[in-house]
Amino acid sequence: QLQLQESGPGLVKPSETLSLTCTVSGGSSSSNTYYWGWIRQPPGKGLEWIGTIYYSGSTYYNPSLKSRVTISVDTSKNQFSLKLRSVTAADTAVYYCARVYPSYSSGWPFDYWGQGTLVTVSS
Amino acid sequence: EIVLTQSPGTLSLSPGERATLSCRASQSVSSSYLAWYQQKPGQAPRLLIYGASSRATGIPDRFSGSGSGTDFTLTISRLEPEDFAVYYCQHSETFGQGTKLEIK
């Protein structure tokens, strides 16, 4: 059974960089050959797609966040990471990592999700 | 930019009833990229439907998806107590705002 686990600081100061890592375990081929994504959910609100990365390193970002986001992958460690720069209180949210359904190279339906991690932006 | 509008915002039904949830796109979209999720409090979303009508692994057959173009529907044929949750539709990088399905 594939498992994803987010890790990183739960508190980030305004103007600083939010950094999260997603570790993938289980399944027949961990992080290889799949697309992976980050999605966030502000408290009490809906879902927002942040970006998606292919195991080869190709990335696709939400245009509204593109100037501040970097997603990277480390297949040797079965991990992919999110960096969001210049954060404000509006970036406070539960951040999820997830796997794109196999055979999809666009459209991004996510079939496996991490449990999510709450990141609060506050001084 | 495509906008997905879900209706109703809240749906109050009783166990055993049929639920029909709507997702309308601001322009015609590919049904291949239309997905539905269920989210319960404190949990990650769970993929129910992808490609507008294909059930994800392990999803009971009381859940079904349909639609094309701009109008898509998630139907739960006979509500079970565990089905009361928030449901989101998604097309590519866009999510709908969600429909809360609550017990009447």
Q: Which of A80, A106, A100 is nearest to A24 (CA)?
A: A80
The alpha-helical segments, DSSP class H, found in chain A are: none
**B23 contacts on A by Cβ (under 8 Å):** none
Q: Measured between beta carbons, which residues in chain A are less than 8 angstroms from residue B36?
A: none
Report the alpha-carbon distance of residue A57 to residue A117 in Å, rounded: 24
Residue A59 CA to chain centroid, in angstroms?
A: 12
State the Cα–Cα distance between residues A119 and A92, nearest whole angstrom. 6
Average pLDDT for B4-17:
98
Residues of B in Cβ contact (< 8 Å) with A49: 90, 93-95
Whole-number pLDDT of residue A104: 87
Q: What is the mean pLDDT of residues A79-94?
A: 97
Average pLDDT over residues A87-97: 98
Specify the pLDDT at position A31: 53
Structure tokens at B13: 């039904």
Strands B94-95, B86-91: pairing is: antiparallel
CA B94 – CA B104 distance, rounded (Å): 30
Taking the Cβ of residue B91 and every Cβ of chain A, the question of whether any pair is shorter than 8 Å is answered with: yes
Radius of gyration of chain B (CA): 13
Q: Does B30 sit within 8 Å of A116, measured CB to CB?
A: no
User: Residue A107 is nearest to which of B1, B32, B46, comparing CB atoms?
Assistant: B32
pLDDT at A107: 83
Burial (CB count <10 Å: 0-12, 13-18, 19+), residue A95: buried
Whether B37 shows a pLDDT value over 90: the answer reads: yes
Cβ(A6)–Cβ(A22) under 8 Å? yes
Q: Looking at the complex, does the CB of residue B31 fall below 8 Å from at least one CB of chain A? A: no
Please check the confidence at residue B14 and state whether its pLDDT lies above 60: yes
CA A98 to chain B, closest CA, distance in angstroms equals: 10
Listing DSSP states for B3-56 in one string gives -EEEE-SEEEE-TTS-EEEEEEEEEEE-GGGEEEEEE-TTS--EEEEETTTEEP
Per residue in A59-80, pLDDT tens? 999 999 999 999 999 988 999 9
Q: How confident is the model at residue A103 (pLDDT cuts 50, 70, 90)?
A: confident
Residue pLDDT, tens place only, B49-102: 999 999 999 999 999 999 999 999 999 999 999 999 999 999 999 999 999 999
> In this model, does residue A30 exceed pLDDT 80?
no
Rounded percentage of chain A residues whose pLDDT exceeds 90: 82
Among chain B residues, CA nearest to A114: B44
Please, are residues A17 and A85 in contact by the beta-carbon 8 Å criterion? Answer: yes
Among partner residues B43, B45, B47, which is closest to A47 by beta-carbon distance?
B45
